[in-house]
Structure 1
Amino acid sequence: MSIGNSPEADRPSVGAALQKARIGAGLTVEEVSTTTRVRIPLVQAIEQDDFSRCGGDVYARGHIRALARAVSLDPGPLIDQFDAEHGGRPAPTPAAPLYEAERIRSEPRRPNWTAAMVAAIVAVVGFMGFTLFTDGGKSDSGPIAGGDANAKPAPAPTRHPSTIKPPVTPDPSDSAVAGLPKDKVTIKVTARDGQSWVSAKDANGKLLEDGLLKKGESKTITDKERIDLVLGNAGAVQLYVNGKEVKKVGDKGTVERLSYTPGDPQAG
């Protein structure tokens, strides 16, 4: 179904076109919400041309595209009509000035008291060993036949640096995986390069998380069986599943729907 060839004067609004197509397809708002995972109040608001609850034009376009496909409607003309009615797509702006106040400042580095104590103990032990060695050399010293009375004692043996093995530290990702429960699925979402809308449900459809994640913010979600995840502006997020990073989540401005269970992250 398409509205792209309708005369400009008779063309319905974006919300009216979506509502008309939904009714024509014999679908309820609840059924469309279940199919698209767009909340019922948000579906109703969009059908009334109220896009203020979408969280911005990027998310509004994603919701329009999802709702149009659910009712067998071509989303292209609707997106063009939305852009025309809302001033078109704005030119991209650097993200840093917009979110300057929201940057997370790193905490000042604390002194490593453990390393300092170890260094002090090593210094004390070395000094005591050197003292015992020199005292022992003096007590055992005496005239040596045919030797030089002013001869200096031989220096203490030292270990070559190549024989000292550095301490083995575990890989950070391995430590993170080992610290997580294996009988649960754990998801951590961080809005690294921009804000993102996040929604998560369990295997029974119960809502676990739903809201806008601002740049720099993180959310951790857990469940025993499965987590169905919806990410808006997917290219801006950093995603860890069961302690392992998912390298490619999606592109900026797109809406991605993913499902994860306990074990290695495999997108459903």
Structure 2
Amino acid sequence: MSIGNSPEDDRPSIGRALQQARIAAGLTVEEVSSSTRVRIPIVHAIEEDDFSRCGGDVYARGHIRNIARAVGIDPEPLVERYDGDHGGRPAPTPAAPLFEAERIRSEPRRPNWTAAMVAAIVAVIGFVGFTLFNGGDDKPSNTAQVAEGSKPDKTAAKPTTTTKPADPPPVPSESAIAAAPRDKVTVKLGASQGKSWISVKDHNGRLLFDGLLLEGESKTFQDKERIDLVLGNAGAIELFVNGKKLQDRFEPGQVERLTYTKGDPEAG
């Protein structure tokens, strides 16, 4: 007695499903490559279920999602099948304690300009009051001989003295991210438009983070030379590099590989 295959065994493979959807949509491999920025040889390899040219599981998942969206099918079942065939998705690695500590210690370094201005005003008022009080005690005879018209002169001097604290305080030279030292590269990632799978490495290639950044979450990383990033859904990420917010320039679902060094941020 023979037993037939289960419905799951009859499903086309990931590559076959993408190829059938592309053909049904009337698209060529070149058109899919142009819209997803996945190179043509990699698109061919994925349609043949060869993921070795993707450069790793994170890239493979991103390519599957981008191609699936381009040909008009839901990418999540295909990504789940990929995870099942390749041992599942790895558990997120927490950021190195060094970088979290830098971010936590950053808040006290912000100068409190409001408190400084209030203290300056109080000091000036106290100085003016002390000067007027002592001047009246030291020269009582002069007070009696001053004509009535001279009294407004003393009160007129007060606005001139008290207006000094009104000058705006100097603008702090610190960058938008506090504790972003000039001798290091500091990168802050915030998932403002949805979740995104991200991978972060330092200049030695050491993995600092590899996992899912949920919407509303943020991570900050530092290194003395270089930070390498892989963004699985770059359009969802708000990016700050060395205290400077980068303008949004990525599309939802777009996979980006970026490198940043010290100074004015430049994408690698």
Scaled by the length of structure 1, the TM-score of the pair is: 0.55
Matched residues in 2 for 1:252 and 1:77: separation?
Answer: 10
Question: Does the 8 Å CA contact 1:201/1:207 hold for their aligned counterparts?
Answer: yes
Distance 1:141 1:11, change over 3 A: closer
Matched residues in 2 for 1:12 and 1:262: separation?
Answer: 48
Question: Does the 8 Å CA contact 2:191/2:218 hold for their aligned counterparts?
Answer: yes
For 1:199, the equivalent position in structure 2 comes to 199
For 2:254, the equivalent position in structure 1 comes to 254
Gaps of 5+ in 2: 1-9, 19-43, 79-111
For 1:103, the equivalent position in structure 2 comes to none
Deviates more, 1:210-219 or 1:133-142: 133-142
User: Letter of the aligned partner of 2:134 in structure 1?
Assistant: L
Is the partner of 1:122 in helix, strand or coil? helix
> What's the offset of the Cα at 1:202?
3.7
For 1:100, the equivalent position in structure 2 comes to none
For 1:140, the equivalent position in structure 2 comes to 142
Question: Does the 8 Å CA contact 2:202/2:223 hold for their aligned counterparts?
Answer: yes
For 2:126, the equivalent position in structure 1 comes to 124
Matched residues in 2 for 1:171 and 1:190: separation?
Answer: 24
> What's the offset of the Cα at 1:82?
3.7
Question: Does the 8 Å CA contact 1:14/1:78 hold for their aligned counterparts?
Answer: no
Scaled by the length of structure 2, the TM-score of the pair is: 0.55
> What's the offset of the Cα at 1:65?
5.1
Matched residues in 2 for 1:251 and 1:23: separation?
Answer: 22
1:202-255 deviation digits (Å, cap 9, x = unpaired): 455432211111222221222344322111332222211222222134123322
User: Letter of the aligned partner of 2:244 in structure 1?
Assistant: K
For 2:226, the equivalent position in structure 1 comes to 226
Is the partner of 1:155 in helix, strand or coil? helix
1:38 aligns with 2:39: no
For 1:173, the equivalent position in structure 2 comes to 175
User: Letter of the aligned partner of 2:57 in structure 1?
Assistant: V
Matched residues in 2 for 1:132 and 1:169: separation?
Answer: 37
> What's the offset of the Cα at 1:79?
4.2
For 2:239, the equivalent position in structure 1 comes to 239
Question: Does the 8 Å CA contact 1:239/1:249 hold for their aligned counterparts?
Answer: no
For 1:187, the equivalent position in structure 2 comes to 187
Question: Does the 8 Å CA contact 2:190/2:237 hold for their aligned counterparts?
Answer: yes
User: Letter of the aligned partner of 1:80 in structure 2?
Assistant: G
Matched residues in 2 for 1:193 and 1:78: separation?
Answer: 20
User: Letter of the aligned partner of 1:138 in structure 2?
Assistant: P
User: Letter of the aligned partner of 1:197 in structure 2?
Assistant: W
Distance 1:222 1:85, change over 3 A: closer
Matched residues in 2 for 1:142 and 1:23: separation?
Answer: 101
For 2:72, the equivalent position in structure 1 comes to 80
Matched residues in 1 for 2:213 and 2:77: separation?
Answer: 27
Distance 1:121 1:152, change over 3 A: same
Matched residues in 2 for 1:266 and 1:250: separation?
Answer: 15
User: Letter of the aligned partner of 1:214 in structure 2?
Assistant: L
Matched residues in 2 for 1:180 and 1:143: separation?
Answer: 63
1:177-213 deviation digits (Å, cap 9, x = unpaired): 8x4142x332111122332221123455432211111
Is the partner of 1:229 in helix, strand or coil? strand
Cα RMSD of the aligned pairs, angstroms, is 4.3
Matched residues in 1 for 2:213 and 2:230: separation?
Answer: 12
Question: Does the 8 Å CA contact 1:231/1:256 hold for their aligned counterparts?
Answer: yes
Distance 1:191 1:13, change over 3 A: same
Matched residues in 1 for 2:49 and 2:205: separation?
Answer: 23
User: Letter of the aligned partner of 1:238 in structure 2?
Assistant: E
Matched residues in 2 for 1:166 and 1:240: separation?
Answer: 28
Gaps of 5+ in 1: 1-9, 44-59, 67-74, 87-109
Question: Does the 8 Å CA contact 1:185/1:262 hold for their aligned counterparts?
Answer: yes
Whichever structure has more helix as a proportion of its residues is 2
Distance 1:241 1:195, change over 3 A: same
